[in-house]
Amino acid sequence: MKPARLTAAGQSPALVWFRLDLRLTDNPALVAAVQHGGPVIPVFIHAPDEEAPWASGGASNWWLHQSLDSLAASLRGLGSQLILRRGPTLATLQALVNETGATAVFWNRRYEPAVIARDTAVKEALRRDGVAVESFNAALLHEPWTIQNQSGKPFRVFTPFWKHCLQQAAPPVPLPAPCKLNAPERWPKGLALAALELEPKINWAAGLKRAWFPGEAAAHAQLKRFLQAAHANYGDQRNRPDLTGTSRLSPHLHFGEISPRQIWYTIASEVGGRNPSSKADRLRPSAATGDWRASQFLTEVGWREFAHHLLYHFPQTPALPLRQDFNRFPWRKDAALLAAWQQGGTGYPIVDSGMRELWTTGWMHNRVRMIVASFLVKDLLLSWTEGARWFWDTLADADLAQNTLGWQWTAGCGADAAPYFRVFNPISQGEKFDPRGDYVRRWCPELAKLPDQWLHRPGQAPPEILARASLVLGRDYPEPIVSHAIAREVALEAFASLKGR
């Protein structure tokens, strides 16, 4: 290894390895690099092969491109720049150390099984080279190994898990962004962002561009809009896909453009009236508003924590059910049914609307995610792994921990899972959560002329109603690919037989 090249002040450079922490505020690795005292060299390394089989899908890669562009602009504002390289990670970091004389490398931790193994090997190798290495928690309120039940084991049910988390000391106060980053005398060479080939070669991302504004500033603006417009009614409206009732922060959180700690303290300050600078004020409830920690939205942040808790302690679950008896479940193999589901052609409007929203925008409302997932695994009896893989490739917020938790919950094979006899009725779910049909009429415009009474059940509409709506089933919109009533009975029999065995 080459000797360190010192600056005039005698301090060697430090590398900051950015990953899913694409922000300047509340970034412990960046702060540590600044405190190291010398030049700070921000680095992003694209090495998708090292995360196989869960390398990012197309929609996530589109978001990553925009987020890296935003981060690079923010770094330029601090007199710095983002060095882009392609993997392999260890060899790339070692090359950068040799090129720059860096004596320290800092990064923020991730919790996916393949990434943990890679990061551990990288850390050990760099330390053998004489490089100081340190990693930090920037993605979670509480790291997975710090939360245990009374038996010293991981939690498998959400409610006691989150109750236990809320009894812990408050997470650290978010860190401010640095005002300036010391630049090295000479910057190492990097790739142009386009060279990472994250954006699609065929322009299918127009819907994502209309729906989203990636980046740290956009993340905080979105949180502000949510708190001003929707948080007060979140408990009532979060299940309504026809309303703007959710935060839409999931992709921002996944890419680390905003941290859960920032959300925690924003809720404490703006909802609970707490002063984040006061430890006592942070922890006590507000007499006026009650305990701000009971916020339903904060509970959803808790589900994100729970997902990472489970993935860390049960690393096999992205591919295998947590409940091993489900290894024997008689899932179907039917490419035609799977394609109809993927393409939004099932004949059930709430399902088709969700799948079309997903394909167009890279996102789907959470209630609709549960409906389409239930339809795949219980109406069609197709494996939850098929759905998880499709979501992984099409979601901009595709997160291995949350994707795994959600699909195993719906299939009944995971932690805190939905009981096997819970089969979502796609017609009644549509009528309940999209009562005026605004959501369906947006994503299935061929149904727009149907009266509300028949909008969620076109397959049952009388011929004269269909004629007045200029709708021919099988031509303009598909007939139902299965009968929900029959499919439900078949699913219940299959799940019950598994339970009996």
Residue positions annotated with a catalytic role: 300, 303, 331, 366, 384, 407
Whether a cis peptide bond, with omega within 30° of 0, leads into 88 is: yes
What per-residue string of b and e applies to 28-54 under the rule 16 or more CB within 10 Å gives b? bbbbbbbebebbbbbbbbbbeebbeeb
What is the spatial distance between Cα 266 and Cα 316, in angstroms, rounded to a whole number? 35
| Number of other CB atoms surrounding residue 361 within 10 Å | 19
Closest by Cα among 347, 230, 214 to 296 = 230
Token look-up 């009725």 returns 425
Please, where are the H alpha helices in 181-254?
206-211, 216-229, 234-237, 250-254
Within 13 Å and on the Cβ side, how many CA atoms surround 248?
22
Pairing outcome for strands 104-108 and 40-46: unpaired
- In three-state secondary structure terms, 108 is strand
* DSSP run (H or E) holding 120: helix 113-128
- DSSP strand E in 32-95: where? 40-46, 83-86
Burial grade of 211 (CB within 10 A; 0-12, 13-18, 19 or more): middle
Closest by Cα among 234, 35, 23 to 138 = 23
Contact 350, 434 (CB under 8 A): yes
- In three-state secondary structure terms, 350 is helix
Whether a cis peptide bond, with omega within 30° of 0, leads into 48 is: no
Helix H, strand E, coil C: the string for 167-187 is CCCCCCCCCCCCCCCCCCCCC
